[in-house]
Chain A
Amino acid sequence: MEEPIKKVSIVVSKGSLEGIYPGLIMANGARMEGIEATLFFTFFGLHAIIDKKMDKIKVATVGNPAMCVPSAMGPGLPTWMGAIPGMSWFATSMMKKEMELLDIPPVREFITMIHDAGCEIYGCKATVDMFHLTKKDFCPEVDEVISVGQFYEKSAGAQIIFT
């Protein structure tokens, strides 16, 4: 039998709703299975843990040829229409409704739940410096801001997943 996965280290690098959730769901799912998990947020992925931004995460409707209306199997939304003001807000509210039905929590609640489940949460030092952020800008669940070297140290023995 194959060796079961014992530890995962998940990198979230995108700040859109569809860029953030896969990493959160995978981290939570890992803990549910008894797998050790670490979340590392970098570049715009940091928005998921910035106190003032995390409740305002939106679906990216520009440059997304897979965007369909009114639901996933509906006709494709012409890509130029994704740029119409309010489109991102609309797509976000539709998706949030569907997520709530599946019991997928909003970002802030999800981060708390994942942290309470024993997953460590880190911010990327390079991005924090580049964006002129400090530890105070983050939600309290963030354990530490770490360098890429520390990230690899903490990921020892883990499968690294980049999203």
Chain B
Amino acid sequence: MAAKEYAGIMLELDADGNLANLNEWNEEIAKELATEEGISLTDRHWTVINYMRNEFKAKGDAPSIRKLTKESGVDTKELYALFPGGPAKKAARISGLPKPKGCI
């Protein structure tokens, strides 16, 4: 398993390059993960990130795009604008979660 330093801490990564342990995540790490994706985090990004982490803790999987757009308060268009090139996948990575397993 690969490991990489984020915010001064050596963190284990899974096969997709996402954090292996979501409890090691913090906001500083999120900022550095976002920078890697070419994203600088705004309040709207944090709305998505916080929603995703809460959903994951409750359900054990990252939410689908449909759920995200219906419940996070950020609609589909904005979601794609906030996380260009794959919103669910990128938002999950920045949120310290594994890649979403669902198809929708």
The chain A residues found within 8 Å of chain B, CB to CB, are 25, 28-29, 31-34, 102-105, 109, 112-113, 116-118
Contact = CB atoms under 8 A, between A and B. Distances in A.
Contacts of B77: 116-117
Contact of B80 (A29, A102, A105, A118): A118
Contacts of B89: 32-34
B104 interface: yes
Nearest to B78: A116
Interface in B44-90: 64-67, 69, 75-77, 80, 84-89
B23 to A, nearest CB: 26
B102 interface: yes
B75 A103 contact: no
A117 B80 contact: yes
A31 B104 contact: no
A32 B86 contact: yes
B75 A116 contact: yes
Main secondary structure of the interface of B (DSSP, over half): helix
B103 interface: yes
A39 to B, nearest CB: 15
A113 B103 contact: no
Interface residues of B, number: 18
Contact of B66 (A29, A33, A105): A105
A8 to B, nearest CB: 14
Given A102-B102, A103-B102, A103-B104, A31 B80 contact: yes
Contacts of B88: 32
A33 B85 CA distance: 6
A144 B45 CA distance: 33
Contact of B87 (A25, A32, A102, A109): A32
Given A103-B104, A116-B76, A117-B76, A32 B84 contact: no
B76 A103 contact: no
Contacts of A31: 80
